[in-house]
């Protein structure tokens, strides 16, 4: 099975933004699954608001790449993450589903999912994070 998701990639001070959902040990990218009929921008806007309380500035979205990896808890299944840069307004505050906000570097791969690790590697290869 292939699960399709959308993600917001944010880098500050050479660290990438990740979140840790409640009840989970691994950090994931901000974003999630599409709801029926949603466009990339609609899904990303909803997910950023739900997870962090911030508002996506839709006109600032810029496609990065597609990242594909086994699901962390279901390695026979695959997640495909369509990743975007984008600007947001507001303070990043964990929503009801989020336990913790984390700023990760390339040394934090073991703290995230296989897809998150791929994204950290990509950011490091492009000299955006340490």
Residue 111 sits in a domain whose CATH number is 3.90.79.10
Query: In the structure, what pLDDT confidence band is assigned to residue 114 with cuts at 50, 70 and 90?
Result: very high
Q: Measured between alpha carbons, how far is 64 from 103 in angstroms, rounded to an integer?
A: 19
Residue whose C-alpha is closest to residue 44's, from 94, 4, 91, 99: 4
Query: Can you tell me which residue has the tokens 């990065």?
Result: 64
Inside any domain, residue 113: yes
Inside any domain, residue 19: yes
Residue whose C-alpha is closest to residue 48's, from 61, 70, 32, 59: 32
| Residue 42: domain span | 2-125
Counted domains in the chain: 1
Inside any domain, residue 130: no
- DSSP letter at 107 equals G
Q: What is the mean pLDDT of residues 114-121?
A: 97
Q: Where are the alpha helices (DSSP H) in the chain?
A: 40-52, 114-125
pLDDT higher than 90, residue 75: no
The pLDDT assigned to 111 comes to 97
**What residues are paired with 3 via a beta bridge?**
79
Q: What is the pLDDT of residues 38-62, one digit of tens each?
A: 999 999 999 999 999 999 998 999 9
* CB of 86 closer than 8 Å to CB of 56: yes
Tokens for 92? 């990043």
């Amino acid at each position: 099975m292939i699960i399709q998701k959308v993600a917001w990639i944010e880098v500050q001070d050479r660290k990438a933004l990740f979140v840790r959902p409640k009840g989970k040990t691994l950090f994931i990218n901000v974003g999630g699954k599409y709801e029926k009929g949603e466009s990339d921008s609609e899904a990303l806007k909803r997910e950023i608001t739900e997870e962090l309380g911030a508002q996506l500035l839709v006109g600032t979205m810029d496609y990065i790449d597609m990242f594909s990896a086994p699901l962390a808890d279901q390695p026979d299944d695959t997640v495909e993450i369509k990743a975007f840069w984008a600007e947001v307004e507001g303070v990043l505050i964990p929503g009801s589903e989020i336990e913790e906000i984390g700023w990760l570097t390339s040394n934090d791969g073991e703290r995230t999912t296989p897809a998150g690790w791929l994204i950290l590697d990509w950011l490091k290869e492009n000299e955006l994070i340490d």
